Amino acid sequence: MQKALADSVVVLDFETTGLSPQYGDRAIEIGAVWLEEGRIVERFQKLMNPGFRISRFIEGYTGITNEMLSGQPRCEEVMAEFSEFIDGRNIVAHNASFDKRFLDSELKRVNRAYKGDCCCSLLVSRRVFQNSPNHKLQTLLSHAGVPKTGDFHRALADAEMTAYLWLSMIERIRRQYRISEVSFDQMSELSKIDKLYTHRYLTSLADTSEI
DNA sequence: TGCCAGGCCCTCTTTAGGGCCTT
């Protein structure tokens, strides 16, 4: 069976009413880009109505207003559609545990579940960009020399910029360690290993590479 | 209206605590 390559994934981002679906927070926007061999081949972006008014803090933070959400489809309708978009694909998100919680919570409401694998670009960045001042998306883009392509804190723009950050990390690993292809599983493993062993791990991949 | 969480990571650690990151 052919291994899944790290540059063929769906990168997603949620804007939400707060931090915790456990306490009733809901998604208000989803943005995602489908990467295929390192190129964006499809985009998904939808605002969605959570069924209650969002706070002024979230309006200010995201730029998404209650007015913008009125008349938008309900979360259930959007998530059913998005479920088809990610079916059969691995996903990447910045601080993926956050987005995965909302993904699982919203899909559960439409009696669906995501069964693929999920990798966190934040955790990988802590290995690859150890000298970055911090590992916020905005800082990492600047640190990696990745151009800003949209407004931060909007789902599609954040997903797209996370995708370019993700690709830059793959490319950095490939060049620095002379690895011909980086698999999704290797990036997942990298995100989990101890930071101190990053160099050793990547070197071991280069040793077994089929260049 | 304001509040809420959770997983990872580091260190003055592991019988713990606090910072980071996401909205």
In a domain, A57, yes or no: yes
In a domain, A4, yes or no: no
From the CA of A123, how many Å to the C1' of B15?
A: 29
Name the band, by pLDDT with cuts 50, 70 and 90, for residue A194. confident
From the CA of A132, how many Å to the C1' of B20?
A: 13
Name the band, by pLDDT with cuts 50, 70 and 90, for residue A144. very high
Q: Is A153 part of the annotated catalytic residue set?
A: yes
Q: What length does chain A have?
A: 211
> Which nucleotide has its C1' atom closest to residue A58's CA?
B23
> Which nucleotide has its C1' atom closest to residue A24's CA?
B4
CATH assignment at residue A89: 3.30.420.10
pLDDT(A207) > 80 = no
- The 10 Å CB-count burial string (b at 16+, else e) for A146-185 is beeeeeebbbbbbbbbbbbbbbbbbeebbeebebeebbbe
pLDDT(A6) > 60 = yes
In a domain, A14, yes or no: yes
In a domain, A100, yes or no: yes
Answer for the pair A28, A106: CB distance below 8 angstroms, yes or no.
no
pTM of the shown model = 0.93
Distance of CA A109 to the CA centre of its chain: 21
Q: What is the mean pLDDT of residues A42-60?
A: 96
Tokens 């995708």 sit on residue = A163
Q: What are the residues whose beta carbons fall under 8 Å from the beta carbon of A67, sequence distance 6 or more? A: none
User: Considering its fold, how many domains does chain A have in total?
Assistant: 1
Strand B–CB A48 distance below 7 A: no
From the CA of A140, how many Å to the C1' of B19?
A: 18
In a domain, A178, yes or no: yes
pLDDT in tens, A53-100: 999 999 999 999 999 999 999 999 999 999 999 999 999 999 999 999
Q: Residue A33's domain spans which residues?
A: 10-208
Task: Spot the catalytic one: A135, A143, A153, A199.
Answer: A153
